[in-house]
Chains A and B, each alone.
Chain A
C-alpha cells in the first residue's frame, strides 16, 4: 500500500512556533509530529510514502530525505501555494499508482488503526469522536457509511468527526478534477467527497485512537501521551549526585550535572548541559543543544533546540521555541489566581495550568516576569525587569 501524507501547510494556528518550521515538524517527545505518524504507518506495513510538502519544505526534505533511515521509501510532491486540500492531493497524482492511504500529517494515529483502515473497502474515511466537534468536519454515519459531512458547524449534529485519514482509489483524482473553488477560493477535498456521500458510497471506519494538535497548548497533552510509552535510555553522561526517577531518555553528548533532580517521563536531546542543581519534572521534553542551568526548574514543558534557561528560571506548562535565551531570574506564571481556564490571545486553552507560548530566538533580560497565557512572537527582545503579558508580535522590542 502507498501512503500520501499531506504536509504542505504552515499550520497558522500554531504561530509563532511555525516561523522556522511547518506544523508537522513541531517536536513531540523530541521527534517531529509527523515522524510519529510515519512510524505508525510503517509498522502497519506501509513502505512507500509520498509527502506533499510546501511551507518549510526544506526542513521536511532535510530531515526525512529518501526515508532509508526509517526503512521506507519517500518521494515528494510540492504544493508551493496552498490552494486547498484537494489541490494538495492532486499534486501527488501519478506518484501513487493504485489504492492509497491519505493522511493529514499533523495528527497521531496508532499502528493497528492504520492497518485496519488499509483493509477496508475503498473509498473509506477514518472517523473519530471528540468533545469539540465544532472545530472539525462533523460526520453522521449509518450502517457503516458516511451519510453527512458538515465543516466547522456551529451546532454539530454529533460528536463524530472526519479524522483526516482516508483510503482511496485512483478514482479520487477524477472527482477532484470536478471540484470548483470554495467561497474562500480553495479546492476542498470534502467537496470532492460530496457525491460519494450522497450516493452512500463512502465507508466509515472508527479509529480507536486519534490525537490532533490544533493549537500550541494542545502540544502539551500530546507530548504527555506520547511520552507515556517512553523507554529509559542514556547515551550521555550523568554525573554522580544526580537523582533520576521514572523513564528518562538522555541523548548523545548530553551531560547531566550533579545535584540535578529529574522526574520522568522526560526526554533530553543531544549535546545538552543540564544542571548543576536543575529540577525537571512532569513530562518535559528538551531539544538538542539546550542549557538548563543552576536552580532552573522546568515543568511539563516543550523546549526546542538551542534554548538556554541557565540561571534561576522557572518554566511551567509552556511551549518554548528554539534559540531562546532567558536572563537570570526570568520566570513564568502558569496558574490564574481565580483558577479559571487560561486564555491565550482570547482563546480558551481548556487548561487550568498553562504558561506561555514563546516563539524562536526570543531574548529576555534578567528578572523578567511572564504572565500566565502570554504569547510571544519570534525574535522578540525584552529589557531587564520587563513585566510581560498578552500577545507580543514578532521581532518586538520591549523596553
Chain B
C-alpha cells in the first residue's frame, strides 16, 4: 500500500501534491517524492515522512506533477528506492502503487538491452519499459498502452514526461480516482487529497489507461475509449481514510482476505533463507497477539516437522538463563517492539541465527536479524491487531511448509476465500450476551487454545470486558470455581481431533450454569442442542478453521465494543507499537 497523487492544471503543482501526499500518509510514510514538468523534468525524493521534510519538494516548478508516499515492499526505504522513478534519460517519471509480480524477469530483459537500474524496486522496470516504447512511438499515451499488458500484478501508475502537457495514468487491481476540478484535474489513490479541491470524481476500473490534460480526461480500456460515471462525493476526510467503514479496525478486519493472500503469495522458497529450512530447534519470541501467532505456529510445526519449538514472551526471555540454541524467530508487526528487539539481541550474543517477521520494511528488527520475512498486511492503524495477525499466520504457515518440504498447497491459496465468506456472519445474539457480561471465558484445545487467547485479548483490549483464554482442559484445575450463570463461555469446538473432548468440557460447563456460545462446524446438531448460542463456520481443514474462528472472535469483540460505545481504534491506555520495555 502506497499513496500517489498527480496534478495537471492551472496552478503550481508541487505545493498541491505535497499537501495531497500528507493526507495520504496513512497509506505509507517511509519515504516520499515529487516530480514536476517545469522547464524540464524536476525531481525531489527522500527517505522519511513528507510531513516532516517537504521543504525542497514544494519548490519544484511546473503545472504538471506526480508524487508518492511509500510503504516499502521491494527495496528498503531510502532515497534511491523512493518514487518517482526515472528512465535512463531522466525525461520520464513514474509513480506506482501496487506490486509488479513479474518485475524480475522484465528487469533481466531490460538490463540485457542496456538499461541502467538505480533502485531495488519493482516499479523501476515500468519506467524503462515506457522509455523503450516512447523512444520509437514518440507518443506517451501509446507507450503506456503498449507497456501495460506486459505487467503482471497490481498497479496504479502515474506517468509524466518532459515537454508533455499531459499525465498518463493506468490502473489494475490498485485504487485510482480522478478528481475533476475547475481547469485542473487530480489523480490519486483515494479521495483524501482531492476532497480539498473538488467533489466530482471518476473511479477508474481495472485495465483503464487515461490521458489527462488540463481540461480533459480521455479513458481507454483495451484501446477503445470508455466513459466512467462522474460521481459527487459527500464523504469527509476521515470517512475516506476509513474507506466507508465506521472504524479502521473494521476496515482492517475486512482487508484480511487480501492481506492473507498477498502474504502467502509473497513468501516463497526464494525469500526464506537457507538456515531457516533445517533448524534443530526453534525459539519464538514475541509479545501480545504476535505471541499467540507463535503459539499456533508451535502446534503446527511440531505436528508436521517434529522440530521442537520453544515459545517465550519477549519480555521474559532475558530472565531465562542460557543455553539458547537453534533458530530464534522474533515476531513483531511494527518491527520496533522493544522487548522483542532485546530478546533477538540476546539470542545473537549466544551465536544463534535470528529471523524476524514484521510488517515494516527497514524497521529496526529487520536491520537486527540475520534474515527478515515481511508480511504484506499494509499499514495497520487500529491499535488492536487484526490483519497483521492473519498475515503473521500466513508467513508462519509458509515457514512450516518450507521446513517440512511441502509445497504451498491449494488450501493456503484459497484460504482467503473462506475468510471472505466468514466476514458476513451475523453475531447479534452473541454480542447481546457479551455486552452485559463482566467476565467472559474463552476455551479451546490444540491450536484453538491459541485462538481462545487471541479472542480474549481482542475482547479486553477494545471492549474493556475482563476476558480470559484457557486451554479447555485446564479450566477444571482452578478457574472452574469462577463459573456461574453470569460468566459466558465462548467455546471453540470445531470438527477434528479435539471435538469429542471439547463436547464433554462444554457439558461440564453447562452443568455449572454458564451460558455457552460455541463456534463449531456447520450443521453440527449435537453441539447446537447443548449450547445457548451456536455460531457455525464452514467445515474445512483445521488451519482454515483457525483463521475463520479468529475472524469470528475479532468481529465479536468489535461489535461488542461498538455496542458499549468504546473508542475502538484507540482503546484507553494502549499504544500501537510498544517501544519501551
Contact = CB atoms under 8 A, between A and B. Distances in A.
- Tell me whether A and B are bound partners: yes
Interface of A: 57-58, 75-78, 80-81, 93-95
Nearest to A94: B10
B475 interface: no
Nearest to A93: B11
Contact of A78 (B10, B197, B232): B197
Contact of B182 (A58, A75, A81): A75
Given A80-B195, A95-B10, 18 more contacts: A57-B199, A58-B232, A75-B182, A75-B183, A76-B182, A78-B181, A78-B197, A80-B196, A80-B197, A80-B198, A81-B196, A93-B10, A93-B11, A94-B10, A94-B11, A94-B183, A95-B182, A95-B183
Contacts of A95: 10, 182-183
A81 B236 CA distance: 12
Interface of B: 10-11, 181-183, 195-199, 232
B182 A77 contact: yes
B113 to A, nearest CB: 43
B162 to A, nearest CB: 23
Nearest to A51: B182
A58 B196 contact: no
A179 B118 CA distance: 43
A50 to B, nearest CB: 9
B198 A78 contact: yes
The 5 A-B pairs of least Cβ separation, nearest first, read A94-B10, A76-B182, A80-B196, A77-B182, A78-B198
14 contacts: A75-B182, A75-B183, A76-B182, A78-B197, A78-B198, A80-B197, A80-B198, A80-B199, A81-B196, A93-B11, A94-B10, A94-B183, A95-B182, A95-B183
Contacts of B181: 78
A78 B182 CA distance: 7
Nearest to A57: B199
Contacts of B183: 75, 94-95
A75 B183 CA distance: 9
A213 to B, nearest CB: 26
Contacts of B232: 58
Contacts of B10: 93-95
Nearest to B183: A95
A58 B11 contact: no
Contacts of A80: 195-199
Nearest to B194: A80
A329 to B, nearest CB: 38
B261 to A, nearest CB: 37
A81 B182 CA distance: 15
Contacts of B199: 57-58, 80
B14 to A, nearest CB: 15
A94 B198 CA distance: 17
Nearest to A81: B196
A58 B181 CA distance: 13
Contacts of A78: 181-182, 197-198
A361 B182 CA distance: 33
A339 to B, nearest CB: 47
A76 B182 CA distance: 6
A322 B119 CA distance: 61
A148 B290 CA distance: 67
Contacts of A94: 10-11, 183
A80 B199 CA distance: 9
A341 B10 CA distance: 51
Contacts of B195: 80
B190 to A, nearest CB: 16
Nearest to B10: A94
Contacts of B198: 78, 80
A95 B181 CA distance: 13
A57 B181 CA distance: 12
B86 to A, nearest CB: 29
A58 B200 CA distance: 10
B572 to A, nearest CB: 30
A269 B196 CA distance: 36
Contacts of A57: 199
